[in-house]
Structure 1
Amino acid sequence: MENIVSLAISLAYILLVIGLATLIAHHQGGRSEYSRKFVHIMVGNWVFITPYFTSLWAVALVPFLFIIINALNSRFHLFPAIVREHENLGTVYYAFSMCVLSSAAFEFGWHELSFIGLLTMAYGDGLAALVGGRWGRHHPFAFARDKSLEGSLCVAIVAFLTTLACVFAFPELHADSLTMANAWYAGEAVSTAIFLLESVLIALVTGAFAAFVELTGTNGCDNLSLPISTGIFASLLLRYGSIGMTIYLLVALGILIYAYRRSAITTDGIVAAELTAATLYAFSSIWVAGSLLLFFIAGSLVSKISNRSKRKGESRQGDVGARNWKQVLCNSLPACVAVWLSHFSQSTNTGALICFSVFAAACADTFSSEIGMLSHGKVLNLINLKPVPNGTSGGVTLLGVIAGIAGSALLAIPSAGQYGIRGFVFVCALGFAGTLVDSALGSTIQQRFADESGQLMDAPAYPRQRAAVGIAYTSNNVVNMLTLIFICLCAYALRGFVIA
């Protein structure tokens, strides 16, 4: 009965918001900008109803319905008051974020996950557009010239206040922290002061993180990246934060900033990488967290090595240059999913082994590709052993094979700290197997295009060119993801060789 009542209240509230937005648009002479922001802000208040749901299907049903409604609205303009003339999929992303965060919060029991994420998106992002549009006078961000400092401060302030409010609203977030503080510090007053200081610092860090995420979002994608990233980041800090985690994240951030200045990573790539770092540190060991940094440093360094042969090979590839969020996620998401699953199934030892194998495979593939293209020797297709041009997906060289072994061995070193020599050999072998699987998939299912001479290359020769071979839309990033998922499954199936 509670679910039916909550569903009825939810639908009535959202329809009321849309109705009021229609009146606002009518009053504004049909202009929808203010009405859109009204909906953007007010719909976020739905999160206050979610604690009254008692079943997962019920809490997910409302945003799921609005994913469909918003998709239809963006196409047919069913509700003109909440859609622009040239609308992107921002409203669909908004409903999708509501569905993901509310469902995850219900399943994990992490109420702050949905509250911080959705309220930051609703109020922070909504007010940022209004404040930035009217009072935004300063545009200091070279990578986001259309966004103002004033608008970014709105996002930061809302994220800060929401995070701090959640600390005191949800007892489970401060009960354990106060208990730990009492154990370390004499006196209840001192421990409470330490807890308050830690809470304020976490809220400040979350505010800064949220503002940066909002700056990197374009074409409505911030309705995905802002709530999901901020909700996860804040939850990890509130539940697993420590001095060691703080130092680790600062070190990771320093490396990422340096890489950005060297054009090795994009701003949205920084967001994905920092969120990955927080996840691995929270749910796994310091050895796994260290392997992530080692992979990124090593991968960035070898990508900067170049010669004439490599430059020619890179001209045949797509996604060349700084790593963006897609590339970061395709190389780290399987590991993140593994540690999430292992954490909640209380199999963290298995999760760590999977992570080591994933990063060894990713590093082996990076070394094999980046160093292999330096070779002036023959490049052979791994499947049929026929010569192919340098830089062609699925092509291998002797130098690339040696580099792949070296990359795998390098990323297997941290695993020895947790599993010993047996773990090192296991991870090294799976890592090198990963680069072979990647080459095999690259030469079979990856989409490739024909150039003027009929030779295959990863990048299309002209806009809307159809793939000559492979499966459409199966890019190198997709191949990387499939390879690492395969390595995850292999590591899990063969874990008995390492874990007794």
Structure 2
Amino acid sequence: MPSLTEIPSLGFQITLVAVWLGLILVIAEGLNRVFSVNAEVSRKIVHIGTGNVILLAWWLNIPAWVGIAASVISGIIAIISYQTPILPSINSVGRNSLGTFFYAISIGVLIGWFWTIQQPQYAALGILIMAWGDGLAAVIGQQWGKHQYCFLGSSKSWEGSLTMLFVSFIISLTILLVIQGNDQPTWIISIVVALVATTLESFSKYGIDNLTVPFGSASLAFFLNQIL
């Protein structure tokens, strides 16, 4: 993280984040409208790209209120897009999922919680697990998922779930290694978080996993670290 003397102005911070999010949306919309790329693919581009904004927020030490405000605005846009075709790359009108709304809310909640206690790494851990773990699990599962199973009414593939497990473990381990070093609790926490995140992702009716996975992963990592 930059030192206090190196932190850019708030205006520059907000502009940088806005440019990043805008670029992700333009790419996804362009692929969807111009090249007729499958809507699910463009949604995952937005899903993964948007999640990475947490790294910018962490690195730039963006104030919590900025992240919360952006979360609220994104949530409102998501709700509107369920009824109006504002951004087809994010939501299809009438789509039976509130995943985009839950995703926006989870980012705001985690920033509001962990920014205020000076532990932003846990917010990053939860959001990146959702962004990369769930995003890649969906791609792998849809393209190469041959072995299906059903969990609480949600149909998943073992290929997708194993992808979620592996990616969640790598993200947890990487962040915790950077923050607290290579010790036994780091590995134990990473394994437990990966298992729980994968279980939560297995139940994704109405997109609820976009809320349970980041919040569950972040809070579990935080509390386990206090215990261990």
In structure 2, the partner of 1:138 is 147
Question: Which residue does 2:22 correspond to in 1?
Answer: 15
Contact 1:132 1:147 in 2 (8 A): yes
Structure 2 unaligned residues grouped into runs of 5+: 1-7
Aligned to 2:222: 235
Q: Identify which of 70, 81, 89 aligns with 1:81.
A: 89
Give me the whole-angstrom Cα distance separating, in 2, the residues matched to 1:114 and 1:90.
Answer: 18
- Output the CA distance in 1 between the equivalents of 2:117 and 2:37: 43
Question: Alignment RMSD, CA only?
Answer: 1.8
- Post-superposition Cα deviations, 1:229-257, rounded to whole Å, max 9, x if no partner, equal 1110111112322xxxxxxxxxxxxxxxx
8 A Cα contact 1:127 1:154, kept in partner: yes
SS state of the match for residue 147, structure 1? strand
Is 1:65 the counterpart of 2:73? The answer is yes
> Are the structure 2 counterparts of residues 224 and 32 from structure 1 closer, same or farther at C-alpha, using a change threshold of 3 Å?
same
Looking at structure 1, the residues matched to 149 and 66 of structure 2 have their Cα atoms a distance apart, in angstroms, of 44
Tell me the alpha carbon deviations over residues 415-463 of structure 1, each in whole angstroms, 9 at most, x when there is no partner: xxxxxxxxxxxxxxxxxxxxxxxxxxxxxxxxxxxxxxxxxxxxxxxxx
Deviation at 1:108, TM superposition (A): 1.3
- Given that 1:70 and 1:91 are in contact with CA atoms closer than 8 Å, whether structure 2 keeps it comes out as yes
* Separation of aligned partners in 1, 2:104 and 2:151: 30
Aligned partner letter, 2:68: A
Write the letter of the residue equivalent to 1:24: L
Change over 3 Å in CA distance of 1:213–1:232 after alignment to 2:
same
Q: 1:58 corresponds to which letter in structure 2? A: V
The 2-side partners of 1:225 and 1:142 are apart by 15
1:53: Cα distance to partner?
3.2
8 A contact 2:126–2:214 mirrored in 1: yes
The aligned amino acid for 1:61 is A
In 1: Cα distance, 2:124 partner to 2:64 partner: 17
Matches within 5 A, 1:216-235: 216-235=203-222
CA distance in 1, matches of 2:168, 2:38: 29
1:126 is matched with which residue?
135
Distance in 2 of aligned mates of 1:8 and 1:97: 22
List per-residue Cα deviations over 1:369-414 (Å, max 9, x = no partner).
xxxxxxxxxxxxxxxxxxxxxxxxxxxxxxxxxxxxxxxxxxxxxx
- Decide whether aligned partners of structure 1 residues 2 and 24 sit closer, same or farther in structure 2, where only a CA change above 3 A counts: same
Q: State the percentage of identical aligned residues.
A: 26
Specify the alignment match of 2:108 in structure 1.
99
Deviation at 1:145, TM superposition (A): 5.3
Distance 2:154 2:109 in 1: 30
Secondary structure of 1:80's aligned partner: coil
Aligned counterpart, 1:270: none
Equivalents in 1 of 2:164, 2:193: separation in Å? 10
Offset at residue 83 of structure 1 (A): 1.3
Structure 1 match to 2:4: none
Q: Specify the alignment match of 2:3 in structure 1.
A: none
Q: Which amino acid aligns with 1:19?
A: V
Greater than 3 Å deviation, 4+ residue runs = 140-145
Corresponding residue for residue 198 of structure 1: 185
Paired AA for residue 234 in structure 1: A
Q: Give the conservation status (yes or no) of the 8 Å contact 2:72–2:108.
A: yes
Which protein, 1 or 2, shows the higher relative CO under an 8 Å CA cutoff with sep ≥ 6?
2
**3-state DSSP class of the match of 2:112?**
helix
Q: Does 2:219 correspond to 1:212?
A: no
Give the match for residue 121 of structure 2.
Answer: 112
Give distance in 2, aligned partners of 1:228 and 1:144. 22
Q: What letter is aligned with 2:122?
A: L
What is the deviation of 1:223? 0.6
Selected match of 1:161 from 155, 170, 175: 170
| 1:17-37 superposed Cα distances (whole Å, 9 cap, x missing partner) | 000001111244264111111
Contact 1:24/1:34 (<8 A) preserved: no
CA distance in structure 1 between the aligned counterparts of 2:64 and 2:90, rounded to whole angstroms? 28
